[in-house]
Structure 1
């Protein structure tokens, strides 16, 4: 059975929406992801570090549409691993674990990989929104479109814009 490593933030978990919502609640200003195209997350969200270090941030992130359903379908034909560089934000470890248990109950604890660098990941396929993770990966790579990577050429990675595209490619 082929294996897939799937990133959490920006692929399954809509951190952009979470940050937009937090920015609005603090400032009353509505940010639009279309205004952030080509900007790093730190450039787009001036209070990024404050927010990702806020208790509850990772546990309450909304789902990216289609991810839950497509990952469930993929899990019937592939061995799925959810891989997150969670050690960068220590509060996120428990919160991400809880979030996955809530939204992806079919993913067991053995399929949750919380790490620092993803260069140790050795699956057949990786789906991620950051080049730093895909560029060091040896298997087939899919770049999940997010505002920070939208202007960039995907290079050797295949760009996917949503979960329906992933479903068409990997499930036919």
Structure 2
């Protein structure tokens, strides 16, 4: 192989982006589902801790049952966290980043998440669906954008993480926070 610099491309960095509450504002529809089933009047803002059963009278099993139902039956109603979310992912890619969508979920919801991503024209180089308890920090990425403190707490240099602001992570101390994917895009060099 020649020593010509043009034969080597620069290393491409990967941005791993979570789906629930980073791309898809699923908790708006989840809260609506909770209200319909429980004759309640909660909002996403009322969910102030990631561990929902510590905030609402609901079992962990029912939390997952509601999430699965929302993704399987109401996925078209789930809004993006900001208008034009697909265009934002394309801009991040054009900046030279690989986009890895990384999401922990129940297997029956996978097809609906993929349909949602297509419907909102979310750009991705790959989709990674996690079914087990392996921490997201163990997966290959340079930057993780996630709303769950439990997913970013184990991210260590040279990797980094951006916390996506949500009501359930307001009390979590993290140096890099954003309120939109567009804001995260600005922080990516």
The TM-score, its normalising length taken from structure 2, stands at: 0.75
Alpha-carbon shift at residue 79 of structure 1 (Å): 0.8
Paired position in structure 2 for 1:6: 17
Q: 2:185 aligns with which of 150, 167, 170?
A: 167
Gaps of 5+ in 1: none
Q: Mark the structure with the bigger radius of gyration.
A: 2
Does structure 1 conserve the Cα–Cα contact (< 8 Å) formed by 2:152 and 2:161?
yes
1:25 has 2:36 as partner = yes
CA separation of 1:113 and 1:58: change in aligned 2, threshold 3 A: farther
Give ranges in structure 2 of 5+ residues lacking alignment: 1-11
Determine the C-alpha separation between the residues in 2 that align with 1:125 and 1:85.
Answer: 17
Q: 1:64 aligns with which of 81, 88, 92?
A: 81
Q: For 1:82, what is the secondary structure of its paired residue?
A: strand
Question: Which residue of the partner structure matches residue 140 of structure 1?
Answer: 160
Tell me by how many angstroms 1:9 deviates.
0.7
RMSD: 2.3
1:102 aligned onto 2:113: no
**Number of aligned residues:** 165
| Residue number among 78, 81, 84 corresponding to 2:100 in the alignment | 81
Change (3 A) 1:44 1:141: same
- Matches of 2:122 and 2:26 in 1, distance apart? 20
* Partners of 1:22 and 1:50 in 2: CA distance: 11
CA distance in 1, matches of 2:86, 2:41: 27
